[in-house]
Structure 1
Amino acid sequence: MKVNFKTIILSCTLAGTVLISCVPDRVDGDGNGLVPPANIDAGFTITQTSPNHYLLKANAINYLNSYWNIGGEGFYKGGMEESIFLPDEGEYLIEHQAVGQGGIVASSSSQTINVAVSDTNSGNLVQGGKFADATDWAKWTINNTGAGANWTFTPGKATLTATNSAGQGIYQAINVVAGKKYKIDMLASSTSGCRDTWFEVYVGYNTPVQGQDYNGDGTKYRFISTWDGHGTSPFSGKISVVGGSNNDGIFTATQTGVVYLGIRGGGADMKDGIAITNVEFRGVN
């Protein structure tokens, strides 16, 4: 963006070849390049392009960058136009921030999208993945593997805490179709960061056994490991971003039937713990 300085009067005091001070006395015209103009418009339009697919188009007036927050998953730097896919039935709050000169959020706006029907291929197969209330919590089974670790369900999240290298897991059954691929993700956060901590996601056809760690088919599809540099400081975001994965978090069903999605973890000191919500297990082909 071009900034015109109509009049800049500088008072400078020089000692030899050393510049002692150089301070603008007055700046006229369009501003100093740090403060955004007052007429920034963060408004945007929403156009449904096909079932479950939408185009967000910012008004793009007098600003530099757009930041978007889709359904409460956190702001990210995007473009003036964003194509989004909302595979699950429900109401989504879409927020837009317009960033102007000096990197300042100068204006914001929001709208909601109501998705009437889940996508038949990519709809989320996890039940109670938002941990909204007791009905959601009842969809999960806690696997007690020893004292010192604890899953706590509160409205909107499930939180694992642990000390003394104890661990504990939760799981639920999900129906899959042979040959189909499924992608696993979730929002994970910690307000404190953790020490000597593991947090892992498994899938398998074998049934979990109370009192035993669930390893599924042996693949860690998603994980947070402080030994690998994850989660030592406060964090919040998709586990696919803040943690690690094998096979991009994709499970391929070898037979039609029931698999178990297992989420487990523990640590020497998880401090405030690791919280999860928006757990996803959805088809990708």
Structure 2
Amino acid sequence: MNLNIILKRPVYTLFVVAALGLLSSCQPEDVGEGNGLSDANVDATFTVKAVEGKVNTYSLQAQPNNVISSMWNFGDGAFSGKMNEEASFPDAGTYTITHTATGRGGLSNATSQDVVVATSDPIKGNIVKGGKFLDADDQAKWTKLNISASGAAWTFNTGSATIKASGWSQQGIYQAINVVKDKEYRIDMLISGGASSDTWFEVYAGTTPPVQGVEYKDNKVMGISTWDGCGTSQFSGKLSVVGCIKNDRTNTVSNVVKFNTSGTIYLLFRSGGNGFTANGITITNVEMRGSN
């Protein structure tokens, strides 16, 4: 009797091992092989609803089921966000909102919706003219400030402006803007460039009129400077995020400006250097908006 038990146990064990081996050989282990490790159909849909009491502001709610992470893009660059976000569009126009959902296995899908803003926010509307450099009309809003005799030049492209410089040369562009006394404004733009050395890109908002051949220095607000620790590697994004130059008024990295009197100021960008990136520094979506 004992002999029979001893003989049957290894037979049963071998049967179980064989069965498990058969099951495991039928189960794919790679992502995307239909084993549940990946989700090619992750749902990226979201709803858009106007926020009551806030001008041109919208609540975005993505469906959360089986979503591991979310990326949003409101038209000025993608960012990692939450399932629910708020988007604000101070200027009238049509804006495309894109939500990218990532699910199991790192697979992702994207969904887009257009939001139409009928009227600009009277407080936070952009007071810069031609800040997108879209066409000749936009580009005509800007005046070049020649500082060096040669070696530096701004060029206008369809949808952007680019500065290239060498041999410590520099050049600026500017426009006149009317401001209100004691009102706070925020200046920003999208900026990109490659790794550089001995390079600067400075933003000024001063009351002094620019003079051809003279380096502008009135009220530096923000910018890129390899001496201050930015621009030494490739960069792309909002200047308020990637910049490192301190604001003359606050002595901190800040894009906020305020003026003692109402009237005309000059928004001016001055850039140059000696080890400039070959493709130059490119800007677009230049903004100056009231913040109070």
Question: Offset at 1:232?
Answer: 1.9
User: Which residue of structure 1 aligns with residue 273 of structure 2?
Assistant: 267
- In 2, the alpha carbon distance for the partners of 1:80 and 1:133 equals 37
Tell me the matched-pair count. Answer: 259
Aligned to 1:151: 154
TM-score by length of 1: 0.85
Higher helix proportion: 2
Q: Which residue of 1 aligns with 2:291?
A: 284
1:251 aligns with 2:254: no
- Structure (1 or 2) with the larger CA radius of gyration: 2
Contact 2:66-2:104 within 8 A present in 1 as well: no
In the alignment, which residue of structure 1 is the partner of 2:38?
36
Cα pair distance change 1:234/1:25, threshold 3 Å: farther
1:269, distance to aligned residue in structure 2 (A)? 2.5
Letter of the 2:142 partner, please give it: W
| 2: CA distance, partners of 1:34 / 1:257 | 64
Change (3 A) 1:118 1:164: same
Instruction: Note if 1:241 corresponds to 2:241.
Output: yes
Aligned-pair CA distance for 1:35: 4.9
The letter for the 1-side match of 2:279 is D
Partner of residue 55 from structure 1, selected from 34, 59, 64: 59
Note if contact 1:172-1:260 (Cα within 8 Å) is conserved in structure 2. yes
Cα deviation, residue 257, structure 1:
0.4
Whether the aligned pair in 2 keeps the contact of 1:46 and 1:54 (CA below 8 Å) is yes
Give 1:63 shift: 1.3
1:148-204 per-residue CA deviation (whole Å, 9 max, x = no partner) reads 0000000010000000111010110111111101011110001x3222100000111
Report how far residue 228 of structure 1 moved: 2.2
Gaps of 5+ in 1: 1-8, 11-23
Match status 1:170 vs 2:173: yes
CA distance in 1, matches of 2:26, 2:230: 49
Q: CA deviation at 1:38?
A: 2.8
Equivalent residue number for residue 205 of structure 2: 203
Q: Is the contact between residue 205 and residue 266 of structure 2 (CA under 8 Å) also seen in structure 1?
A: yes
Please tell me the residue identity of whatever aligns with 1:252.
K
- Partner SS state of residue 135, structure 1: helix
State the SS of the aligned residue for 2:137.
Answer: helix
Aligned partner of residue 178 in structure 1, secondary structure: coil
Aligned Cα root-mean-square deviation (Å):
2.1
Bigger drift between 125-134 and 261-270 goes to 261-270
Q: What code does the residue aligned with 1:110 have?
A: S
- Counterpart residue number, 2:47: 45
Q: 1:107-144: CA deviations, max 9, x gaps?
A: 11111111111101111100000000100000000001
Q: Deviations over 1:81-124 (max 9, x none)?
A: 1011111111111111101234x351111111111111011111
Secondary structure of the residue aligned to 1:40 is coil
CA contact (8 A) 2:171 2:272 kept: yes
Matches within 5 A, 1:24-173: 27=27, 35-50=37-52, 51-71=55-75, 73-102=76-105, 104-146=106-148, 147-173=150-176
Q: Considering fraction of residues, name the structure with more strand.
A: 1
Q: What does the per-residue CA deviation read over 1:221-260, in whole Å, with 9 as the maximum and x for residues that have no partner?
A: 1110112221222221001111124242111111010111
